């Protein structure tokens, strides 16, 4: 093991197995480790694609600091690979990491816990400098034997080799309420390419709708390098009529009404009294794998999202909402 590989192994070992669960401390160590390595200059910045924005390598690398996200994804991904070794015994697992960013953060720290003869990794990202950076990282760590390909590619179009079973897909290309980034389009392309019994990470993203007083909702606040839960005293903030809208997983189809809209809700009657819960909010829950989950305000990607205030819908009877994955994924509201 190289000196760098030993360092990342030791940090990850604490993260996975230490009972102390000092996530913010360990994740900062991981971030310092990664950012001590040279990163390729990014001439592209954030890239606007057909189904969402691909973050620049700097913005993608900053995602590491969303510490509960990173720690929970690492634990869940580790567990999913362990589970896959049981489901597919005595074969080398093929794992695809789509949108790996400059450090392949959700997989590279785990590699030293497996043998290269047992796992075969493909890394893809649309950002050229992220791919150049991750290539340098793999070479610095001496991890070439784990890797079959590191490619610049659009994960919404990428085709895994047809005659090779794909056992695990890992992708975290999302923002709260599935806005802005192309998680849905990437999942739609890659999940059907999994072999039977293969695992999608995250396993399930559930989107729900409810009424609340948005400015009282707890949320994870990022200020420079610190992440703190704002409104944490309001843990039991009043919420009304929470309805699941849809789940994104490897099987479920949504009630897609047309090509543009991935999801369209039923009509919701506008409540008569909404002084205490005047905002239409969307909540994101992520089951990464098994018990490894992110709840509201655990991370920037599960923060509550305010669609609009019910006061803006005065004089209307009902509304429905649609989620669209074209250009910049977002939510639309229609009233009647
Ligand atoms: C939110 S960042 C996450 C980076 C890293 N996976 C992590 O979890 O820390 C999303 C990454 O996905 C990449 N990405 C976004 N859309 C993509 C697409 N259509 N094809 C390939 N990569 C994409 C971005 O360039 C960025 O590196």
pLDDT, one tens digit per residue, over 159-204 is 999 999 999 999 999 999 999 999 999 999 999 999 999 999 999 9
**Ligand 1-lining residues (CB < 6 angstroms):** 49, 54-55, 60, 63-64, 98-101, 105-106, 124-127, 130, 154-156, 172-173, 182, 186
**From atom 12 of ligand 1, which residue's Cα is the shortest distance away?**
99
Residue 318 Cα to ligand 1 middle (Å): 37
Which CATH architecture does the domain made up of 3-203 adopt? 3-Layer(aba) Sandwich (3.40)
**Long-range contacts at 318-322 (CB < 8 A, ≥ 24 apart):** 318/267, 318/268, 318/269, 318/270, 319/267, 319/268, 319/270, 319/280, 320/264, 320/265, 320/266, 320/267, 320/268, 321/209, 321/245, 321/264, 321/265, 321/280, 322/257, 322/261, 322/263, 322/264, 322/265
d(CA 87, CA 272): 52
Nearest to 183 by CA among 258, 94, 247: 247
Domain residue spans of the chain: 3-203, 205-335
Provide the pLDDT for residue 322: 94
pLDDT confidence band for 236 (50 / 70 / 90): confident
pLDDT confidence band for 254 (50 / 70 / 90): low
Q: Pick 83 or 37 by higher pLDDT.
A: 83
pLDDT, one tens digit per residue, over 104-120 is 999 999 999 999 999 99
| Average pLDDT over every residue of 263-275 | 93
30, 60, 160: residue to mutate for ligand 1 pocket, most atoms within 8 A of CB: 60
Query: Can you tell me which atom of ligand 1 is nearest the CA of 182?
Result: 16
pTM for the complete prediction?
Answer: 0.96
């Amino acid at each position: 093991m190289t000196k760098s590989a030993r360092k990342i192994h030791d940090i990850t070992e604490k993260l996975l197995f230490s009972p102390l669960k000092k996530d913010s401390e360990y994740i900062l160590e991981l971030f310092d480790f990664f950012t001590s390595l040279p990163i390729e200059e990014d001439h592209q910045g954030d890239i606007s694609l057909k189904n969402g924005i691909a973050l620049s390598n700097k913005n993608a690398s900053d995602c590491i600091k969303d510490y509960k996200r990173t720690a929970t994804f690492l634990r869940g991904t580790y567990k999913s690979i362990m589970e896959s070794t049981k489901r597919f015994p005595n074969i080398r697992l093929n794992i695809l990491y789509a949108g790996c960013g400059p450090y392949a953060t959700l997989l590279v720290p785990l590699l030293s816990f497996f043998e290269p003869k047992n796992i075969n990794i493909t890394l893809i990202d649309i950002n050229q400098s992220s791919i150049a950076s991750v290539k340098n990282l793999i070479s610095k760590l001496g991890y070439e034997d784990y890797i079959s390909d590191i490619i610049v590619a659009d994960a919404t179009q990428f085709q895994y080799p047809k005659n090779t079973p794909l056992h695990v897909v890992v992708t975290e290309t999302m923002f709260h309420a599935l806005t802005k980034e192309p998680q849905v389009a990437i999942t739609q392309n890659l999940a059907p390419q999994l072999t039977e019994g293969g695992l999608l990470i995250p396993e399930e993203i559930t989107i729900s709708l409810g009424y609340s007083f948005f400015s009282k909702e707890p949320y994870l606040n990022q200020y420079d390098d610190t992440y703190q839960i704002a409104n944490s005293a309001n843990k039991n903030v009043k919420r009304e009529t929470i309805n699941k809208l849809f789940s994104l997983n490897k099987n479920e189809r949504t009630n897609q009404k047309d090509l543009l809209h991935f999801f369209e809700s039923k009509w919701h009657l506008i409540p008569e009294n909404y002084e205490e819960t005047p905002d239409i909010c969307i909540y994101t829950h992520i089951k990464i794998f098994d018990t490894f989950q992110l709840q509201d305000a655990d991370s920037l990607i599960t923060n509550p999202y305010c669609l609009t205030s019910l006061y803006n819908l005065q004089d209307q009877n009902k509304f429905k909402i649609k989620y669209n994955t074209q250009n910049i994924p977002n939510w639309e509201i229609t009233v009647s």
